[in-house]
Structure formats: C-alpha cells, structure tokens
Amino acid sequence: MCGVIGIVHTDETLVNQSIYDGLTILQHRGQDAAGIVTCHNGRFFQRKDNGLVKDVFRTRHMRELIGSMGIGHVRYPTAGTSSSAEAQPFYVNAPYGIAMGHNGNLTNAQQLRKEIYTQDLRHLNTNSDSEVLLNVFAHELMQQHKLKPEPADIFAAIRRVHERVRGGYATVGMIADIGVFAFRDPYGLRPLIVGERENAQGKKDYIVASESVALDGLGFKVVRDVAPGEAVVMTQDGELLFEQCHDNPQYAPCIFEFVYFARPDSMIDGISVYKARLRMGRKLGEKILREWPDNDIDVVIPIPDTSRTSALQLAETLGKPYREGFIKNRYIGRTFIMPGQQQRKKSVRQKLNPVGLEFEGKNVLLVDDSIVRGTTSGEIVQMARDAGANKVYFASAAPPVRYPYVYGIDMPAASELIANGRTVDEIAAFIGADCLIYQDLDDLVDAVREGNKVIPCFDTSCFSGEYVTGDITPEYLAELERSRHGNQPVGDEPVGMTNVGE
C-alpha cells in the first residue's frame, strides 16, 4: 500500500511545501521511500530516496523543487526490493516528459513487460510494476500523434491503459507544461479523491490524493472521489476536468482500507473510516453477547493504534471498562508493513509496552483490527500474560485472513497467513489466547456499507477468496507463492509481484 498526491497551484513557491506536508500526512501509507517531482517552465525537478518523508527531504532539496505543479509518493516495502532506484515517482522523457506515482498492484505485469519490450519498443529499468504502468500510459499517449496533448488525448490514453492493464491502481501523473492527471482502476480498489481551494487571487488550486486527510491538512475542500475507471485532469491553466474512461466500471473498493490502512479521520468513497470502525466494534460486541453471554471479561484493551475505535465501541456494547493497556513508542514503524518477519517480531516489544496495573489479575479482552501472520498477535498475548493477566482473550475486528491479497497489500503467500488452513481454535492455540473471536464477514461488509449504500459490494478477497477482477487463478497464486519464497530462476520476474504496493 502506498500514498500518492498531486497539486496544481497558482503560487509556485508553495507547491513543494504543500506536497511535502501532504506526504507527511499520508506517511501511514508507506514508510519505506518517498519522492517528489515538480515542474517549472517545462523542466522536471526531482528528489526521492528510501526513508521517511522527514529524512528524504532537506532544506537544500526543497529549494530545488520549484514549479507551480508537482506530484509525490510514499512507498511501503513488500515482496519487491527496497532499493532507492524503485522509489517513486518514475519519469520518462518521451513523449512530452511524464512523471508518475502509483498505489496498487498490476496482476498482469509480467505480460505487460513483454509487450512493452516487443511491441511498444520501450525500455524498463526496474522491477517495479509502477514503471510498467508509466510506460503503458506513455506509449498510448504517444499514439495520439500530437505535438502538444490536450485533455481529450490524455483521457483517450487512459482509456487504452484500462484496456491493457489488470489489477488495482490509483495513479497520479504529471505532463510537462500541461498539468497533473490521475486515474483509478475500474473497480475503485485503491482510493483517490480530488479537492480544491480558492487562493488569494480568487483562482482555484487543485489537489488529488489517496485520502481526504491530506486535503483537510492543506486546507482544501473535497470536490469528490474519483469514480472507478474515471480520470481527472488538472491543467496549468486552472481547468478541472473529469471523464469516465472505462465502458463497464464496477464499484468494489478494498474493504481492508477501512479495516486497517486508512486513517480514521479519512472519508473514502463517501464513507467515514471512523464511523465504519465504530460499527465494526458494535457488531463484534453483539456477536460476543450472542455467542458468549456469560463471558467473564473484566476489561477491554485495544492494540494501538488502528483498533482503538472498534475497541471503544465494543467495550460500550459489552458494558465493560475500556482501558489503554499498551503504551506505544511512536518512533517505531507499523509492524505489518515491515519488510521481514524477523524484523516484525523484534519490533513488537520495542513498539508496545504494557501498563501492568491494567493486566494484573484480570481477564482481558485484547482487540486488534485484524490478524494477518499471527506473529505480532502471539507476541502481544505473551506480553499481556507477562504483565500479570489471569486470562487473555483476543478479538479481531476483521474476519480471518485466509487468502492472498494481490492488489497491493503485503500478504501474497497463503503459507504466511495464520488463518489459512487452520480453525479458529487452532489459531487461538497458535497465538496463545484463551479464546479467539473473529468478526463475521457479513457484519464487516454491513458495517462499512452502511456509510454509503450506493456502493454495491467491496473486494473482500483476503477473507473470502473471491477476486473481483476475475483473472486470479490457482496457478497465478501458486506462482506468487513460488516467487515469494525466492524460487524463481535468475532473471525471472515474480509474476505480478514486481514491487507490489507501488
């Protein structure tokens, strides 16, 4: 999972700082690398590297990022490499000069790489599927045969991109001397939202970003979410243009955004993430009351930070005290998105410290947003016992994660998922909990959909094994598993896994 942002501003002295601030707000979406590209008088200025936003950009870099428009990207590490060469945005000089950043994963990246080389006659320099996407777009834009492209040409190129590309993607790009463009996959799997604000000159500045919190933090007013299959162009001349670029878009946003990735103060597709998590907690509490009415829970304790909202409502539904039993070291990254299993495990005790008085002699219900690999959950259960808990129960605001996710989240190998092939009792034993309670899938979907009933369905593939794009076969998943464990021949690209989440 990554974060993207693009801004067109009338005051070129403010663009670099605005993008920097926006990326800092979106830092939760990626902590591995960051990058900014701006444009001034037809020239691109770029800075990108591995690290947090605050570490990648220094004053000397910001001074060089001049221009009235720009785009930015934050990346989290996945099965691809963490090389700074694959930090985004990427750039191609033909046609026109195009820069692009991408959040998601292309499921037909391997096929596209061959087409780009043999048919489009273009060169790829990294293993990133984001570079694949950029070159597909660049090729299709070149086919318009214009000395200077117009918005209609950009929309036409994006229509052809949708025809060639499969997977989940929210993309922000910039064309020299033209403007910023963005587009979203035909299922709306990855989020993308547009905003505007009136400046001192009475003109409009525009922004597009992964989450509404970036708009809030920079003082922009929400215009609307980019619809599935839709594209937006924000020109240097102050135009804001939308066009549907797919013949059959189907709304099916990724439900894991609401479970874990998005900030609670974000609005995604008209749904408050905070309210959705409250409803998750209420439904989970109702399930506990229904199936375990005589429970002996003394206290409800969240595993910070993502589960706090659900845990608070769960405690209220149960009529039990809610306590902050773990204190978080805010200088440790999100363990779910750390690159290696050993690093995840090591960081848990550095990240969380129990408040012994809240555990000693009590039957505690720990609440987390989800359980993916189980490594973190097992460590936390043991920490609760070491702090003196009498019994440790565990509740997940999401259903069991049993299947690989292939649209841009680092959980591609079934063998890495604790719930794959195990019963709930077996999972409880694995993490050392006295009892384990999962959210039901129907309840999760209802909790999210209640915020916007216009959305007909959500992608729940990591819970249900049903992939909305319809192109994920057992053979594809088997190849992912093989490439995940490094068994591919030398020089062979992991199919669909070229830096997932880019």
Check: CB of residue 374 under 8 Å from CB of residue 430.
Answer: yes
pLDDT at 31: 92
pLDDT at 471: 93
Greater pLDDT, 191 or 412: 191
The distance between the two most distant Cα atoms of the chain, rounded to a whole number of Å, is 75
CA distance 235 to 450: 36
Mean pLDDT for all residues in the chain: 91
345-to-330, 374, 427, 501 alpha-carbon distances in Å: 17, 10, 17, 22
pLDDT of 500 > 70? The answer is no
Full DSSP string of 411-429: B--GGG-TTTT--HHHHHH
Greater pLDDT, 343 or 120: 120
Residues 242 and 306 in one domain: no
Residues 438 and 320 in one domain: yes
Q: Which residue has the tokens 């930090």?
A: 87
pLDDT of 485 > 90? The answer is no
Residues 237 and 295 in one domain: no
Is 491 within a domain? no
Residues 280 and 361 in one domain: yes
CA distance 69 to 235: 9
Is 337 within a domain? no
CA distance 7 to 20: 11
- Percentage of the chain exceeding pLDDT 90: 82
Q: Is 140 left (phi over 0), alpha (psi -120 to 50) or beta?
A: alpha
pLDDT of 333 > 60? The answer is no
For the stretch 101-133, pLDDT in tens is: 999 999 999 999 999 999 999 999 999 999 999
pLDDT at 491: 31
pLDDT of 486 > 80? The answer is no
Cross-sheet strand order for the sheet of 221-225: 43-50, 33-40, 69-75, 3-8, 204-209, 193-198, 221-225
Check: CB of residue 71 under 8 Å from CB of residue 6.
Answer: yes
Is 342 within a domain? no
306 is in an annotated binding site: yes
Under the banding of pLDDT at 50, 70 and 90, the label for residue 332 is low
Residues 359 and 401 in one domain: yes
Residues 122 and 22 in one domain: yes
pLDDT of 344 > 70? The answer is no
Q: Mean pLDDT throughout 80-102? A: 88
Residues 377 and 243 in one domain: no
Q: Which residue has the tokens 């009590």?
A: 362
With a CB cutoff of 8 Å and minimum separation 6, the contacts of 284 are 310, 314, 317, 367, 395, 397, 437, 439, 443
Under the banding of pLDDT at 50, 70 and 90, the label for residue 310 is very high
- Percentage of the chain exceeding pLDDT 70: 91
Residues 231 and 290 in one domain: no
Domain count, the chain: 2
Q: Mean pLDDT throughout 330-352? A: 62
Is 30 within a domain? yes
For the stretch 151-186, pLDDT in tens is: 999 999 999 999 999 999 999 999 999 999 999 999
Q: Mean pLDDT throughout 76-103? A: 85
Residues 212 and 243 in one domain: yes
Residue 91 phi/psi, 5-degree rounding, is: -140, 140
pLDDT at 502: 30
pLDDT at 78: 57
pLDDT of 57 > 90? The answer is yes
Residues 320 and 418 in one domain: yes
CA distance 365 to 296: 10
Is 489 within a domain? no
CA distance 126 to 119: 19
Residues 243 and 277 in one domain: no
CA distance 36 to 153: 25
Under the banding of pLDDT at 50, 70 and 90, the label for residue 489 is very low
pLDDT at 439: 98
For the stretch 276-301, pLDDT in tens is: 999 999 999 999 999 999 999 999 99
Among candidate residues 219, 250, 281, the one where a domain is terminated: 250
Residues 63 and 101 in one domain: yes
- Report residue 389 CA to chain centroid gap: 35
Is 117 within a domain? yes
pTM: 0.91
CA distance 268 to 246: 21
Q: What CATH number does the domain containing 392 carry?
A: 3.40.50.2020
Which run of H or E residues covers position 203?
Answer: none
pLDDT of 68 > 80? The answer is yes
pLDDT of 323 > 70? The answer is yes
pLDDT of 496 > 50? The answer is no
pLDDT of 12 > 90? The answer is no
pLDDT at 334: 52
Q: Mind telling me the catalytic residues?
A: 2
For the stretch 245-268, pLDDT in tens is: 999 999 999 999 999 999 999 999
pLDDT of 490 > 60? The answer is no
Among candidate residues 453, 470, 488, the one where a domain is terminated: 453
For the stretch 438-474, pLDDT in tens is: 999 999 999 999 999 999 999 999 999 999 999 999 9
Residue 204 phi/psi, 5-degree rounding, is: -105, 135
pLDDT at 416: 87
Under the banding of pLDDT at 50, 70 and 90, the label for residue 412 is low
**Residue 389 lies in domain:** 273-329+349-453
With a CB cutoff of 8 Å and minimum separation 6, the contacts of 368 are 302, 303, 306, 307, 377, 380, 394, 395, 396, 397
For the stretch 187-234, pLDDT in tens is: 999 999 999 999 888 889 999 999 999 999 999 999 999 999 999 999
480-to-128, 131, 412 alpha-carbon distances in Å: 15, 20, 7
Is 470 within a domain? no
Count of residues making up the chain: 502
pLDDT at 329: 86
Is 81 within a domain? yes
Which run of H or E residues covers position 35?
Answer: strand 33-40
Among candidate residues 184, 216, 250, the one where a domain is terminated: 250
pLDDT at 359: 98
Under the banding of pLDDT at 50, 70 and 90, the label for residue 341 is low
Q: What CATH number does the domain containing 180 carry?
A: 3.60.20.10
The least confident of 325-329, 338-342, 394-398 is: 338-342
